[in-house]
Every structure is written in C-alpha cells, then in structure tokens.
C-alpha cells in the first residue's frame, strides 16, 4: 500500500515539477494551484501538491542542539515529525499560538516537516505566465523563494518546499 501511495505521490511530484519547469521555457496557459498563508505581515504560497495536510496546533517536544526555529517534534498519527516555526525562520519575533495558527505538513520525497504559520488565506490558481522568477536582489535568501506570483491587486511570494525542508544546521 505504502509503496503504491508513494509511487502515486512521486508521480504527482514529477508532474508538478514538469509543470513548474515548463514555465521557464514556454509561457503556457497552464495553471498551478497554490495554498496561500500569512506569516508576519506578508502573504506566501506553496504548491498544493507539496502539502500533505494542514492541522491545528498540537503539543510538541523540544529537541536540544537545534536552531531556535526548530520548535521540536510532534506526533502525527504515530510518526514523529519535526516542527519548524516559519516566523522564526524568517527572522520575525515569535508569537504565541492563537485561533488562526496552523501547522502545514509539507513533504518533499521522504523528507517531511510541519511548519507553523499565522493564518491560512485561500487556495489560489495562478497562470504559469504570471509567475516571475525571483528578483536578483532576493537571491541571497538561500533560494527559499521559487518565484513571485502576480495577482490582480497584490503579489504573492511562492516558496520552494524542497529548500524549506533542507536542513541548514
């Protein structure tokens, strides 16, 4: 079962990567689906296919010898999953969990982690053509940003899940 499941997931991933990659070359009219959320004052988004699930805050256990933004690990139906505070990862002050706080569990292959965000906004459909590559000046952000999505009134930062899940300590 598990093997099948991961197979399907992998295929999805592949498709999605293909989709994303294609944008660079050809300005097709394909759409990608994103989930938008707020961390601090800004709105971010990640591809919906990278999300395993979204849960309400639950108890977690601190893990020593890790950077501050690694809050710890929590139990997700029998699996031990790391928990990362995106506010702290983005060098914002820490905030107590409240009504709107959620954990987004993201997956990249076998790598999996939960990310604390302040608030979910909405599911977004964006045309590939309306996603611009990261501006040169932002490149130093460890490549966490995949691109900038242009919407009618606002712009939205699309994060790269693979690099979010990259351990950098």
Partner 1 sequence: MDDLREILEDFLIEAFELVEQIDQDLVELENNPEDLELLNRIFRVAHTVKGSSSFLNFDVLTRLTHHMEDVLNKARRDELKITPEVMDVILESVDMMKALLQCIKENSSDTECGIEIDDICNRFDAISQGKPLEALEESTETAEEKAPEPQPEPEEEPDYANMSDEEVEAEIQRLLEEKMKEKEAKKAKKKSAEPKKQAQKPAAAAPVKQTSSPAKADASAPKKVASTPEQTIRVEVKRLDHLMNLIGELVLGKNRLLKIYDDVEERYEGEKFLEELNQVVSSVSLVTTDLQIAVMKTRMLPVSKVFNKFPRLVRDLSRELNKEIELVTIGEDTELDKSIVEEIGDPLVHMIRNSCDHGIESPDEREAKGKPRKGTVKLKAYNEGNQIVIAIEDDGAGMDPEFLKMKAIEKGVITEREADQLSDKEAYALIFRPGFSTAAKVTGVSGRGVGMDVVKTNIEKLNGIIDIDSELGKGSVFKLKIPLTLAIMQSLLVSVQEEFFAIPLASVLETVRISMDEIYTIEGKNVLRLRNEILSLVRLSDMFGVEQVFDGGEHVYVVIIGLAESKLGIIVDGLVGQEEIVIKSMGDYLQGIEGIAGATIRGDGGVTLITDVAAMMKLAKEINVDLTQQTSLETVQKTKPEDFHLLIVDDSKTDRTIMKKSLAPLGVKLTEATNGVEALNMIKTGDINFDAVLIDIEMPQMDGYTLAAEIRKYSRYKNLPLLAVTSRVSKADRLRGIESGMTEYITKPYSAEYLMETVRKNINLPVMEVA
Site for partner 1 in 147-166 (CB under 8 A): 165
Cross-strand pairs, 139: none
d(CA 138, CA 164): 16
Applying the rule CB under 8 A, the residues between 11 and 40 that interact with partner 1 are none
State the binding string over 104-143 for partner 1 (x if CB under 8 A, else -): ------xxxx------------------------------
The answer to whether 81 and 105 have CB atoms below 8 angstroms apart is yes
Give yes or no for residue 78 binding partner 1 (CB under 8 A). Answer: yes
Nearest-approach distance from CB 73 to partner 1, in angstroms: 5
Give min distance, CB of 153 to partner 1, in A: 36
Rounded to an integer, what distance in angstroms lies between the CA atom of residue 166 and that of residue 89?
Answer: 12
- The verdict on 90 binding partner 1 (CB under 8 A) reads no
Question: What is d(CA 168, CA 97) in angstroms, rounded to the nearest whole number?
Answer: 25
Q: Which is nearer to partner 1, 18 or 75 (CB)?
A: 75
Instruction: Write out 124-140 in H/E/C secondary structure.
Output: EEEEHHHEEECCHHHCC
Residue 81 or 126: the one with the smaller Cβ distance to partner 1 is 81
């Amino acid at each position: 079962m598990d093997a099948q499941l991961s197979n399907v997931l992998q295929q999805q991933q592949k498709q999605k990567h293909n989709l994303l990659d294609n944008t660079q070359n050809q300005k097709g009219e394909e759409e990608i689906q994103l989930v938008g959320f707020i961390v601090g004052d800004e709105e971010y988004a990640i591809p919906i296919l990278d999300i395993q699930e979204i849960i309400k805050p639950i108890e977690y256990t601190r893990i020593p010898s890790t950077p501050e933004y690694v809050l710890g690990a929590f139990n997700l139906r029998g699996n031990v999953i790391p928990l990362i505070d995106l506010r702290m990862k983005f060098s914002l002050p820490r905030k107590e969990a409240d009504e709107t706080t959620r954990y987004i569990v993201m997956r990249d292959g076998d790598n999996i982690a939960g990310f604390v965000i302040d608030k979910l906004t909405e599911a977004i459909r964006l045309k590939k053509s309306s996603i611009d590559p990261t501006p040169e000046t932002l490149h130093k952000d460890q490549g966490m940003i995949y691109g900038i999505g242009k919407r009618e009134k606002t712009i939205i930062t699309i994060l790269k899940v693979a690099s979010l899940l990259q351990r950098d300590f």
